[in-house]
Structure 1
Amino acid sequence: MFIVTGASGKLGSLIVEALKRLVPAHQISLSVRNPEKLPERLAAGVRVRRGDYNDTDSLRHAWAGAKRLLLVSSNARASGDNPLDQHEKAISVAKEIGIERVFYTSQVSSNPLSHFPPGRDHAATEAMLADSGLAWTSMRHGFYADSILSMHEHGFATGTLTGPEDGKVAWVTHEDLAEADARLLSGHETIEGITPPLTGNHALDLADLAQMASAVTGRTIERQIIGEDMMLESLHRAGLSGNVLEIIIGYYRAAKAGEFETVDPTLSRILGRDPRQIPDFLSEKMPRT
């Protein structure tokens, strides 16, 4: 049995769709906090059970009979909760019930000293896995391309991408990462421990993105560098919480330090093709005017 956690989220749902192309649906089980919210297309032909990282009994039930578990990392830090406590509970249950291998969705910034708070969480979780006695694979994802749009929606609309000094990022789509994750979970690919960075083929900073977006939309989009204090003041006015502010500022510091810039061919090898190019991604998401 292949277990996919977080199957109602964007990454998890795409992993389920990719996994259904690789293994029979009856061998797949979905572990979600709210099964009633799962779209019918995802639930079709698979086992669905409630599994909440904060409820170990629910995890034991949701993961019963599993051999391979894909553990989608918690985003609890953004809301002020403790993702490490959740991960620790999940890994403990996986060991208790005899999971043969855990697959964890990590990130390229994984490092105890990362400027990016989630990067420190990923490093701590990888250490838990290494100490667990379980067989494990940690997929070090590149930065999600969707974040280009979510972080800079206002900037693309107004024509100015504003933020502190940044650095190059090897952006990659959820779809490409989900396909690679499904191939690893299903056993079509095997990597022990930490994977190489699973990234796009090009690293781009905000100035590069502004130029690409200008070409795609036919509008002039510029890059404006401001200080961290000015950025924080603007985010405070927008009503964002302290936890979210820490993550956003951490992103800029980490990008400037080169934590997201590595380009690696491993994702291309697993997919058997080049990952989606960012100009094509922007062209689909941003209408031309």
Structure 2
Amino acid sequence: MLAITGATGQLGRLVIEALLQKVPASQIVAAVRDVDKAKELAGQGIQVRYADYSQPESLRDAFAGVDKVLLISSSEVGQRVEQHRAVIEAAKAANIALLAYTSILNADRSSLMLAEEHVATEAMIQESGLPAVILRNGWYSENYTMGIPAILQHGVMIGCAGEGRICSAPRRDYAEAAAHVLTRDGQAGKIYQLAGDHGFTLAEFANMLSEATGRPIVYQNLSEADYIQALENAGVPAPFPKVLGNSETGASAGDLFSPSSDLSQLLNRATTPIEVTIKEALSEVAA
């Protein structure tokens, strides 16, 4: 039995979609905070169980009879450590055979603010004594393609990553890799550095977008402070302007780059190029 936390989230749904290609739906547990949002999953024969990070007893109930748990990191930046602690403790109480955790690329050396809670979670997992595998996910390509409508509107892509190269992959690639790990033996103790096969700079991203649309798109590199201010002026809610600004500065220092081929090896294929994800995003914009 495989339990997926955050199963109705952007990554969780894709993990379940990938798992359905490998195991019967009855062997999948969707651990969710809002059961109503999981009706589609239940309709596929997947076991939907209530699981709230703030209610440890719900986690213990959700993991009853489960062999493996995928802890998809919480989206609530600043609250992740305690939320993840509750999942780890419930998994230990359930005596699971494997805990998989979606961490962040280069967690052990990253300067990103986002890495702090991941490093703390990795340490808690280590201290728990649970058989575990760490999936250090790189940047999602969608982190940039989601901004395409605004970029097209203004003809400018802004950021503060400088010449930093970003080895991203779409969520679907990371989800497929997680499904492979969950359905393979001998994963305990492994740490995967998961990243796209080829890196790109934001200037190159702007050029690719320009080529795909036939419209002139330029990249404007700002200081971190000015980029944060621009995000705040655009209405991006706190704390994300600071988190994104810090992340792009980290990218300029190489924190979002990795030569690792772990992701393509798990997929047994090349990772999805950013050009492909750009074209897919443009198709959605046009629809």
> Percent identity over the alignment?
33
2:33 counterpart residue number: 33
Choose which of 121, 125, 128 in structure 1 pairs with 2:121: 125
1:135 counterpart residue number: 131
In structure 2, what is the Cα distance between the partners aligned to 1:216 and 1:237?
28
Choose which of 147, 150, 155 in structure 1 pairs with 2:146: 150
2:97 counterpart residue number: 100
Aligned pair 1:172/2:178, yes or no?
no
Q: 1:236 to 1:280 in 2, by over 3 A?
A: closer
Q: Is the 8 A contact 1:16 1:42 kept in 2?
A: no
In the superposition, the TM-score normalised over structure 2's length comes to 0.93
The code of the aligned residue for 1:75 comes to S
Choose which of 81, 87, 92 in structure 2 pairs with 1:90: 87
Q: SS state of the match for residue 38, structure 1?
A: helix
In structure 1, runs of 5+ residues without a counterpart are none
State the Cα distance separating 1:237 from its structure 2 match: 2.3
Aligned pair 1:239/2:235, yes or no?
yes
Aligned pair 1:223/2:212, yes or no?
no
In structure 1, what is the Cα distance between the partners aligned to 2:260 and 2:94?
35
**What do you get for the CA RMSD once the two structures are aligned?**
1.9
Q: SS state of the match for residue 122, structure 1?
A: helix
Q: 1:147 to 1:39 in 2, by over 3 A?
A: farther
In structure 2, what is the Cα distance between the partners aligned to 1:184 and 1:238?
39
Aligned pair 1:114/2:128, yes or no?
no
Aligned pair 1:49/2:49, yes or no?
yes
Q: SS state of the match for residue 236, structure 2?
A: coil
Residues 101-156 of structure 1: CA deviation (Å, up to 9, x unaligned)? 10001110413x63322211111111111111100001011110110123554224
Deviates more, 1:275-284 or 1:153-162: 153-162
Aligned pair 1:18/2:18, yes or no?
yes
State the Cα distance separating 1:19 from its structure 2 match: 0.7
Q: Is the 8 A contact 1:109 1:116 kept in 2?
A: no
State the Cα distance separating 1:15 from its structure 2 match: 0.6
2:75 counterpart residue number: 75
Q: Is the 8 A contact 1:141 1:199 kept in 2?
A: yes
In the superposition, the TM-score normalised over structure 1's length comes to 0.92
Deviates more, 1:86-95 or 1:234-243: 234-243
1:8 counterpart residue number: 8
In structure 2, what is the Cα distance between the partners aligned to 1:156 and 1:237?
18
In structure 2, what is the Cα distance between the partners aligned to 1:43 and 1:275?
31
In structure 1, what is the Cα distance between the partners aligned to 2:187 and 2:253?
28
In structure 2, runs of 5+ residues without a counterpart are none
Q: Is the 8 A contact 1:140 1:194 kept in 2?
A: no
